[in-house]
Each structure stands twice: as C-alpha cells, then as structure tokens.
Structure 1
Amino acid sequence: MRPAEWITLIAQFAHLSQRQRQAGIALLHGNAPHDATVALLENVAQPRLACPACGSAHLHRHRHRHGHAHGLQRYRCVPCGRTFNALTGTPLARLRHKSLWLDYADCLLASDSVRKAARQLGVHRNTSFRWRHRFLSLAKTDRPHGLHGIAEADELYLLASEKGSRNMTRPPRRRGGHAHKRGISNEQVCILVARDRTGQTLDFVTGKGALTKAQLHHCLLPVIDKDVLLVTDGHAAYRAFAREAGISHVAVNLRAGIRVQGAAHVQNVNAYHSRLRQWLGPFHGVATRYLSNYLGWRWILDARRIRSPETLLKATLGAFPHLMVT
C-alpha cells in the first residue's frame, strides 16, 4: 500500500463505531467476524440441541456431527433422519450475511431506522427491515411473568397505520397524519400499559377503539396478583373490571386535576407512555401489524436487560439473560 493510501485509511479509523473497531481488531488477530458470529450461534444451540421436527435429542454419534452447510454444523436425528443446524426453527433461519448480525444488533440497540442501518451495513433496506422483525420476534417476549404490589394501568392511543400494506382498507394519507374523527374512534389503536412500582412493565395491543372491560379481563387478569392494588384513572372499564375480578382498585381523578392521592398515582405508567411516544416519533408512524414488535423493542431498551449485541443475538434465539425476579 502506498503511504498516501495508508494515511487515508488511518484517517478513517476515527469514524468507526465501537463494534466496527472490535471487528477490525478481531480480523487483525485472524478471527473473522463471520467466525465469531457462528461460534456464538453454536454455543447457544449446544446446551439444548434437539431435532426441531420430532423433538428428539438422540442424534447420530461422532460428536453428533453430519457435515457443514453455510458455515454451520449440520446434525442428523436418529429417530426421523432429518438434518438441521443451530438456526433451524429459529427466527434467523435462512437469513444470510451472518458476519453482519452483531453489527445489526448494535443498530437495534441504538434505535437506528431501517435506512440508516442499511447504509451502515451496506445491505438493502428490505434486508434491514426483514432483520428488524426477525430479531425482535423472540427477543420481545423477554417480559416479566406478572405484576405485584401496587400496579398502575393506563392506555394510550396511536393512529392505526396500514403502512406497507398492499390492500388498504382506507384512502392513503401522509405518514403520521391525523384522525378524521374527534376523540377515540376506530381510527386509533389502543395500547394498554401496566407497570408496578418495581418497574416491571407489560403492554398489550387491545385493538381499535376504546378500551373495554372484556379486554382488561383478557389482558390483565392472568398477570396480576389477587392482592395487588390497581391504580388507574377514572375510566369506567377499570372499575368494572376490578369489581368483577375482586381486586383492590383506586381511581385517580385526573380530570379534576388530582394526580396524587397518597401512594396512589399513575405517574410511572404515564412517564413510560411519554418515553414510548417520544421514541416512536422518528419512525413517522409504525404499521399496526408490527406494533407488538416495536413495543417489545422499546421494553428491551427501557428495561436495559439487554445491553450488548451478543446478548441481543442470544435473545433472538430464545436464550435470554437470567430471569427477572417476580
């Protein structure tokens, strides 16, 4: 390499991300990013290696190996004869460019847009979009099993979006537009958020229109303790739900300007709403059919249980960090 080219190359180092610098160091040591990703995938798969077709853990001997394909070890099941690898039956099955997956996980943790992540990795925007929802399909399920003590619940409404749909049920509009009807209507999607005082949070996309008592029974009843104190605003559906479920309930009259009644308030859940709305803003309206993925993505960032690309990649395969104490 000519000296001028070397100077130009060195000058570009300052613009590298932390992940890119680590990948460069690994490459200089003879460890390609592809090899590091494959090693991580194999390590996650080994402890729970079983045939995805029949569930058997009885694999052919000789270290349970049956060749390689696409850089991954192949395994053959003895009972059914099927072959599989560490990604078979996972959200990452049949995806390419494994060497870029850790970099893409970095983009998710940075809340990068589809196009920004695509530019950084040098892939097509459709690939970036596909990876986003594959990575989140299992990782979003890392949630608390229930809420305890004092639990706050409140709902927020987002404009229903058919973004990306080929067969729309309404005339198109600008992304992030406004509803034509005043108040709450079937133009809006309801998101129910429940959060206890330890910060454990659960959210549910209940559907279009106002929240109902039946939806509360379906969403909240399985995940709250019988001795929980449920704190909400004055919505009639919460009162009816609490009475029928036999749980303690306090309604804070926000319309009268009363925000705190002793220990009863909904400020924690409203603060979560605020962070969620602010975070969703740069996406300019997310498709309703993918809304649960975005809610899971927001929880990943807010809970800070997943802080590294490696941990997120493991969660994508269903290997989560230590379970929350609930």
Structure 2
Amino acid sequence: MRATEFRSWLSRLTQLNQTQRDQLQTQLSCPQGMLAEALEPPEHCPHCQATALRPWGSSHGLARYRCRTCRRTCNALTGTPLARLRHRECWGRYAEAMVKSLTVRKAAEHCEVHKNTAFRWRHRFLRLIAEHRAQHESGIVEADETFFLGSFKGQRKLSRQARKRGGRARRKGFTAEQIPVLVVRDRSGQHADFQLKQLNAAHVGEVLRPLLDPDAVLCTDSAAIYQSFAKAEGITHHRVNLRQKRRTDGAFHIQNVNAYHGRLKLWMKRFNGVATKYLENYLGWRRLLERYGNDLNPLICMKESLGDYPVQQLTQT
C-alpha cells in the first residue's frame, strides 16, 4: 500500500464503531503474528526427508524452500494437517475458539467463516492433537473404561432409525450400541485414552502393554479383563471392588479416572452427540484442555495442531 493510501485509510478509522474496532484489534494483534510465531523453518524435506533445504523465495506470504536432493519445493506448512487451508488470517481466532471449546456454529460466527469451513478446520486442527497422549506411565496407574453411544452423525444412509441430538441407547448397560473408551492415568498426571474396537482382554492388553512400566501397580475395578492382562504380563494388580461400596483401599483407588470420566462426559454434552468416526479427535481435544488447564492459549493450540508439542503443563492429581 502506498503512503498516501495508508494515510487515507488511517483517516477513516474514526468512523468505525466499537464492534468494528474490536475486530480490527483482533486482526492486528492475533492471526498473522501468531502463525509466524508458531511456524518454524522445516529441517527436513517433507517429500524425501533429506536435510538439503535452501531458501527459494516466498509464496502466498510464506517462505519457500527447495530440496537439493529431490528438487521439490515446500514451506513450513507442507506435510502438516493445515497445508492448503485458506483464510490463514482467521486461524488465530479459530485457535481461540478451540481453547473456549466453542461448537462448530459458534466457532464459525467467531471467525466469520461458513460453518462447513469451521467443521473442516476443527478436524484438521485436531488430527495431530488426537495422537498426542502419554507414551509411558509408572507408579500407581489407574485404568477404567467409559462408554459413548455409537453415532453415525452426518451420514445420509443409516442401518437404523435416526436419533435426534445424541439420543439414548435402546437398552441399559453395555451393548453393541456402546463404544468403549479406556482411560489410563497415573498419579503424576500422565494421561492416555483409547477408543477400543471391543472390550476384551486382547484389545485392552494391546494398548496397555506398551504404555505401562513393568514396575507399575495397575489399579482397576474388579473386571476380569484387567486381571487376565496383569497376570499374563506379570504386572502387580490391585482391584477395588465397587460393588461392596468401597471406593478406596488406602492409596489404591480409581477416583482420578472416574472424575475425568465425569468431566469428559459433561464437556461432550455441548456437541449434542459426536460421530463415532471423529470420537478420537474429541478425546484428543479434551486431553489438550486437561494437559494445560488455564495455561492453554491459542498459540499453544496452534503449535500442537502443527505437531510441535511445547513442554507439557501436567495437571497434578
């Protein structure tokens, strides 16, 4: 913009109302600066993984790099879930919407984009966040499952009659309609959860085996699947019999996991039912909120969406 045009633009700022001033302030202070701070120059070529990158001009406001090995170009977004998404000036505000756990329509209104765009952005932002969970847990490790009603939300062809706004299961208890989610948490705050295909010893062992330290003490309810896994792996297992109305046995309990179940279910209600194929993304979103607590901000959210995980702020239990 030329200097004369800029002065003319500045002279019209007094004509803005308060809402327009707030929008201008958000645009100036948040989006581009936040994205520039979140992005880091790539160390490896996303196409061939070589380290022979050199600057190669810029395009659409992003620095470009060219690989000397494969001769292909890239930028800091290439190979990330946010690659080729438009309206980068709105990403900062969308990260704010995620920190506030806004629904799709409210997030679209907050960013002044179409609701379909807000939905697409949600699951692009959450793709890598959903994969960020604890890789190792030790000490007293609590594990317990919770259930979500299976949902085909958004699909046109259903194998059953459609439900409205989440709905209810036809029968009480665990049935084929329910999707099991195993939550695992140790006393230092390390947290992981997994959407299971089936609730049996084989699937539980598949996710717990690489997660638990050999010296860990697994604390669960009296379900037989955990006992079978602990016996097969030689892990110390302490069972809390909830049917006898004993929720604690000294230091052994699953109160932290059960409390998390309550927070997760309460948080999920705002979305009026979550499609099963996107459930893992929402689990990752909730883990993000738990991981940072009040320290979570749009910049951290954007970094995690790009796969750059800052130092975790663990919630102590």
The TM-score, its normalising length taken from structure 1, stands at 0.86
Corresponding residue for residue 115 of structure 1: 105
Q: 1 CA distance for matches of 2:32 and 2:93? A: 14
Contact 1:38–1:71 under 8 Å retained in 2: no
Give 1:66 deviation, angstroms.
Answer: 2.1
- Two-structure CA RMSD over aligned residues (Å): 2.3
Corresponding residue for residue 83 of structure 1: 73
Deviations along 1:197-229, one digit per CA (max 9) or x if unpaired, are: 112111000025xx2111111011110011111
Give 1:110 deviation, angstroms.
Answer: 0.3
Q: Which amino acid aligns with 1:39?
A: A
Give 1:158 deviation, angstroms.
Answer: 0.8
Corresponding residue for residue 36 of structure 2: 39
**1:164 and 2:172 correspond:** no
Q: Which amino acid aligns with 2:37?
A: L
Matches within 5 A, 1:204-219: 204-207=194-197, 211-219=199-207
Corresponding residue for residue 310 of structure 1: 299
Corresponding residue for residue 85 of structure 2: 95
Picking from 55, 64, 69, the partner of 1:65 is 55
Picking from 9, 22, 31, the partner of 2:17 is 9
Q: 2 CA distance for matches of 1:219 and 1:35? A: 39
Give 1:264 deviation, angstroms.
Answer: 1.2
Contact 2:35–2:92 under 8 Å retained in 1: no
Aligned length: 303
Matches within 5 A, 1:147-162: 147-162=137-152
**1:129 and 2:119 correspond:** yes
Q: 2 CA distance for matches of 1:313 and 1:215? A: 32
Give 1:57 deviation, angstroms.
Answer: 1.7
Picking from 307, 310, 313, the partner of 1:321 is 310
Corresponding residue for residue 141 of structure 1: 131
Cα distance, 1:283–1:10 mapped onto 2, change above 3 Å: closer
Q: Identify unmatched segments of 5+ residues in structure 1.
A: 27-32
Give 1:180 deviation, angstroms.
Answer: 1.4
Segments ≥4 residues shifted beyond 4 Å: 5-8
Give 1:285 deviation, angstroms.
Answer: 0.8
Contact 1:37–1:99 under 8 Å retained in 2: no
Corresponding residue for residue 269 of structure 1: 257
Deviations along 1:217-253, one digit per CA (max 9) or x if unpaired, are: 1011110011111111111111111111111111111
Matches within 5 A, 1:282-297: 282-297=270-285
Q: 2 CA distance for matches of 1:66 and 1:8? A: 40
Corresponding residue for residue 44 of structure 2: 50
Q: Which amino acid aligns with 2:49?
A: G
**1:279 and 2:278 correspond:** no
Q: Which amino acid aligns with 2:33?
A: A
Contact 2:129–2:284 under 8 Å retained in 1: yes
Q: 1 CA distance for matches of 2:17 and 2:144? A: 53
Q: 2 CA distance for matches of 1:308 and 1:8? A: 28
Corresponding residue for residue 3 of structure 2: none
Q: 1 CA distance for matches of 2:127 and 2:250? A: 40
Q: Percent identity, aligned pairs only?
A: 45
Cα distance, 1:324–1:108 mapped onto 2, change above 3 Å: closer
Q: Which amino acid aligns with 1:144?
A: A
Q: 1 CA distance for matches of 2:254 and 2:286? A: 20
Picking from 26, 31, 43, the partner of 1:23 is 26
**1:179 and 2:155 correspond:** no
Give 1:67 deviation, angstroms.
Answer: 2.8
Matches within 5 A, 1:228-239: 228-239=216-227
Give 1:25 deviation, angstroms.
Answer: 5.5
Q: 2 CA distance for matches of 1:143 and 1:130? A: 23
Bigger mean CA offset, 69-78 vs 304-313 = 304-313
Secondary structure, in 3 states, of the residue corresponding to 1:183? coil
Q: Identify unmatched segments of 5+ residues in structure 2.
A: 1-8
Q: 1 CA distance for matches of 2:32 and 2:218? A: 50
Contact 1:193–1:204 under 8 Å retained in 2: yes
Give 1:70 deviation, angstroms.
Answer: 1.8
Secondary structure, in 3 states, of the residue corresponding to 2:148? strand
Give 1:11 deviation, angstroms.
Answer: 6.9
Cα distance, 1:198–1:176 mapped onto 2, change above 3 Å: same
Contact 1:153–1:194 under 8 Å retained in 2: yes
Q: Which amino acid aligns with 1:320?
A: Y
Picking from 225, 237, 240, the partner of 2:213 is 225
Matches within 5 A, 1:243-254: 243-254=231-242
Q: Which amino acid aligns with 2:166?
A: G
